[in-house]
Amino acid sequence: MWPFVKFLILHQMTIQRNLNTYRVLTGLMILVCFSCKKLVSIPEPVDTMTTVKLFTTDSQANSAMVGVYGQLINGFDNSAIDGQSGFSCGLSTLTASSSSDELTGFYLNNDGNKLISVDPSSLALWKTAYQGIYGANAVIEGIEASTSLSLHNNVRNNLTGEAKFVRAFCYFYLVNFFGDVPLALTVDFNQTANMSRTPKAEVYAQIVKDLLDAKAKLPDDFSGSKTGERIRANKWAATALLARVYLYTGNYAEAVSQSGEVIGQTGLFQLKADLNDVFLKNSSEAIWQLQQSNKDSFRGNATPEGASFLVDISQTNVYPFVLSDELVPLFEDQDKRKKAWLTTSGKDGKIYYTPYKYKIGKINSSFQGEITEYYMALRFAEQYLIRAEARVLANQSLDLAIADLNVIRHRAGVNDLPSTLSRVEVISAVERERRLELFAEWGHRWFDLKRTGRAHDVLSVIPRKQPWSGDYQLLYPIPPVEILNNHNLIQNPGY
């Protein structure tokens, strides 16, 4: 020990003696420490922008919200060339329709109700819906945290409203595909990474809360869009989705009143007389559309669903999505929807019916061609059907319900329903009308079957779903990789 003690004592003395040296050293230390912060600060990257910087001006904040819309329509790795990689650019339609009795998607497991836990489309639905939620959360939190005076109040309100609407929209599809899902309301992974699945009712409560908030914040016209188009959520988009959510959650009176509010906006929305015009861009029937790009060389100017459905089946070795044998016979001959919204093609000696709501598909799209159609996310016609159903279930006047249905039937060129129908008959008429009007749109049919409790009875007898693997298939599997990374998530039973 002694040498070290001596060393320490002498060391002290040396320092005294060599005061000059000591000063030089201390000076150097101070110099270095003083400018420490600067020494290791690097310029912010030039090709990216931080959240703090982003939400300082109106136009930058708008870019962030536009990014969320862009992700919704383009799929989240921008590879949604044919509508199969994002829930909001075709995948909801393809999977849910195949799982029901609506479409036959030959190469999806959903078709025969033979989903397995590692199903890629299940992962894509989950992942993309949550990426949309992340984007919405980032906008909400970014605006909230911004103290910039250059980010004006009206823009703050508009963008927050849009983000809340998008968040609600994403969660709506998540609960309908997966049941209970983790309710992530922040971008902070510390708060969300270990959460359990939130009960469906709580998720719906949040959806309603977000939509009400959005409804209050959003403009009642299409002024939110720079180009004045129907491609950004406004007050009526929030109201329309609210009407649907109330219908799904059994709050029929509210469903009647919300859909009624939308239907009352006759200055903005009307049913298109010509069925071929319904899905055109900014059509008067559009409450909210998503704007696709024409800059993708594969998809061209087609919508993602158009690109999926309208392919030349004689040139492909796989069959595309076609109408099921159950659905086709339901169309009455005079139903204009059969002619306007279906197209046929033959292969191997058989006639296949393909959805033809969008007229531009893979077969006739052109790179950088003029965009005539947008991808319809919320449609005015649905509001009549919501109100009709909600009126019956809320035990309101059957006549009014039948009148709502007849608005839709009238446009389709089929006979009005008689006012003599019983309550049960009206309910069944609503189901049938929804099936015919909303086919191949966002999985309505499958969700309807599930929420009305008729899924087992209807689906378990369909030949191509034999042997019926079980009702557990009515919820999609939680992607196993999620459970791997968060053991608090419990897989849906059966997978």
Partner 1 sequence: MIKNYSPYLTGLRYFVSFVFLMLISVVCFSQTITLSVRNAPLQKVMDAVKKQTKFSVISNKSLLNSAPNVTISVVNEPLTSFLAKVFKDQPSVYSIEDRTIIISPKENKNNSRTPVPKAQEPTVDVNGKVMNKKSGEPLGAVSVKVKGIRTATSTTLKGEFYVPKQSYNSVLVFTSVGFDSLQVHLNEYRDMQEGSVLAVKNLTIRKTDYGYSLSVSLDPAVSYLDEVMVQGYGTTDRRTGTGNVARISAKELEQQPVSNPLLALQGRVPGMIVSPTNGYASSPVKIEIRGRKNIGSSFVSDPMYIIDGVPLTNLDLNGSNSSYERGSMGVIQNGLVTTTGGQSPLYNLNSRDIESIEVLKDGDATAIYGSRAANGVILITTKKGKPGATKFSVNLEQGFSAITQYSSMLNTQQYLQVRRDAFKNDNLQPTATTAPDLVTWDSTKYTDWQKKLWNHIGKQTNASMGVSGGDVQTQFRISANYGRQTEILTTKGSNQRASFAFNMSHSTLNRRFKIQLNTMYTYSAVDAIASPGLATLPPNAPDIYNAEGTLNFAPWRTAGYFDFPFTSLEMPYYSNTHLMTSNLNLSYEIAHNLTFSTNFGYNSTSNGQKNYIPIRAQDPIYNPTGMAFFGTNTNMNWIIEPQINYSLKLGEGKLTALVGASLQKTITRGAGTLGTGYENDEFIESINLAQQSSTTENQGYYKYAAVFGRINYNWQDKYIININGRRDGSSRFGPGNQYGNFGSLGAAWLMSNEDWIKDHLPSFISFMKLRGSYGLTGSDGVGDYQYLTKWSKNPAGTVWYDYDGSTPLVSGQAVNQNYKWQVNKKLEGAFSIGFLDSRINLEVALYRDRCGNQLTRYPTPFYTGFPSVTANWPAVVDNKGFELSINANLINTENFNWTMTLNGGRNSNILKDYPNIQNSPYASTLKIGESINTVYLYHYTGVDPLTGNYTFEDRNRDGVVSGDDPRGPGIGDKYVRVDLSPKFSGGMGNTFTYKKFSLSCFFDFKNQMFTDPVSSYGTIIGGLNNQPTAILGNYWKAPGDQVKYAKPSTISNQGNMMYLSSDAKYVSASYIRLNNIALSYTLDQKIARKIGAESLRVYMNAQNIFVLTNAKGIDPDLQQFGSLPPARILLCGLSLNF
Between 147 and 266, whose beta carbon lies closer to partner 1? 147
The piece of 32-40, 94-102, 205-213, 343-351 that touches partner 1 (CB under 8 A) is: 32-40
Region 135-154 residues binding partner 1, contact defined as CB under 8 A: 135, 137-138
Does the footprint of partner 1 cover residue 315 (CB under 8 A)? no
Contacting partner 1 within 274-313 (CB under 8 A): 291, 293, 295-296
What binding mask, one character per residue, do residues 86-125 give for partner 1 by CB under 8 A, x or -?
Answer: -------------------------------------x--
Residue 23 C-beta: closest distance to partner 1, Å: 11
Residue 388 engages partner 1 in binding (rule: CB under 8 A) = no
Query: What is the separation, in whole angstroms, between the first and last Cα of the chain?
Result: 68
Q: Does 23 bind partner 1 (CB under 8 A)?
A: no
Q: In this chain, which of 140, 184, 262, 386 binds partner 1, going by CB under 8 A?
A: 184
* Per CB under 8 A, 14 contacts partner 1: yes
Using rule CB under 8 A, residue 193 touches partner 1: yes
R_g over Cα of the chain: 28
Contact stretch for partner 1 (CB under 8 A) within 22-30, 87-95, 372-380, 404-412: 22-30
- Beta carbon of residue 245, minimum distance to partner 1 (angstroms, whole number): 21
Q: Residue 119 in contact with residue 477, Cβ under 8 Å?
A: yes
Alpha helices (H) along 218-349: 235-249, 252-263, 304-309, 336-341
Cα–Cα dist 443/87, whole Å = 11
- CA 58 to chain centroid, in Å, comes to 25
What HEC string does 130-198 produce?
HHHHHHHHHHHHHHHHCCCCCCCHHHHHHHHHHHHHHHHHHHHHHHHHHCCECCCCCCCHHHHCCCCCE
Count residues binding partner 1 (CB under 8 A).
85
- Cβ-proximal residues to 242 (8 Å cutoff; 6+ apart), any chain: 208, 211, 212, 215, 254, 258
Is residue 63 near partner 1 by the rule CB under 8 A?
A: yes
Distance of closest approach, residue 73 Cβ to partner 1, in angstroms? 7
Chosen residue from 194, 316, 334, 428 binding partner 1 by CB under 8 A:
194
The span of 109-117, 132-140, 368-376, 388-396 binding partner 1 (CB under 8 A) equals 132-140
Positions 215 through 254 that interact with partner 1 (CB under 8 A):
225-227, 229, 231-232
Of 134, 279, 446, 476, the residue at the interface with partner 1 (CB under 8 A) is: 134
Per CB under 8 A, 4 contacts partner 1: yes
208 vs 168: CA distance, rounded Å: 8
Write out the binding residues for partner 1, residues 33-52 only, by CB under 8 A. Answer: 33, 36-37, 39-52
Where does residue 439 fall: left (phi above 0), alpha (psi -120 to 50 degrees), or beta otherwise?
Answer: beta
Are 200 and 180 spatial neighbours (Cβ–Cβ below 8 Å)? Answer: yes
Query: Shortest gap between Cβ of 206 and partner 1 (angstroms)?
Result: 14
Q: How far is the CB of 337 from partner 1 (least distance, A)?
A: 31
Binding mask 463-482 for partner 1 (x = CB under 8 A): ----------------x-xx
Q: Rule CB under 8 A: choose which of 127, 337, 338, 444 binds partner 1.
A: 127
Among 56, 66, 199, 460, binds partner 1 (CB under 8 A): 66
> Alpha-carbon distance 374 to 293, whole Å?
9
Q: Hey, what amino acid is at 397?
A: S
User: Among 97, 99, 104, 131, which residue interacts with partner 1 (rule: CB under 8 A)?
Assistant: 131
182 near partner 1, rule: CB under 8 A: yes
Residue 2 vs 333, nearer CB to partner 1:
2
| CA 454 distance to own-chain centroid | 25
β-pairing, 321-323 with 103-105?
antiparallel
Residue type at 437? Answer: E
- Cβ nearer to partner 1, comparing 390 with 478: 478
Asked if residue 73 binds partner 1 (CB under 8 A), the reply is yes
Contact 355, 307 (CB under 8 A): no
Q: Which stretch binds partner 1 (CB under 8 A): 189-197, 403-411, 445-453, 467-475?
A: 189-197
Confirm or reject binding of residue 84 to partner 1 (CB under 8 A). no
Q: Give CA–CA dist 342/158, Å, rounded.
A: 38
Which segment (134-142, 239-247, 323-331, 368-376) binds partner 1 by CB under 8 A? 134-142
Q: Among 16, 147, 153, 190, which residue sits at the site for partner 1 (rule: CB under 8 A)?
A: 190
Instruction: Give the tokens for residue 29.
Output: 């230390």
271 contact partners, CB below 8 Å, separation of at least 6: 284, 285, 380, 381, 407, 408, 411
E strand map for 313-374: 321-323, 342-347, 350-355
- Would you say 213 and 163 are in contact if contact means Cβ atoms under 8 Å apart? no
Q: Give the nearest distance from C-beta 207 to partner 1 in angstroms.
A: 16
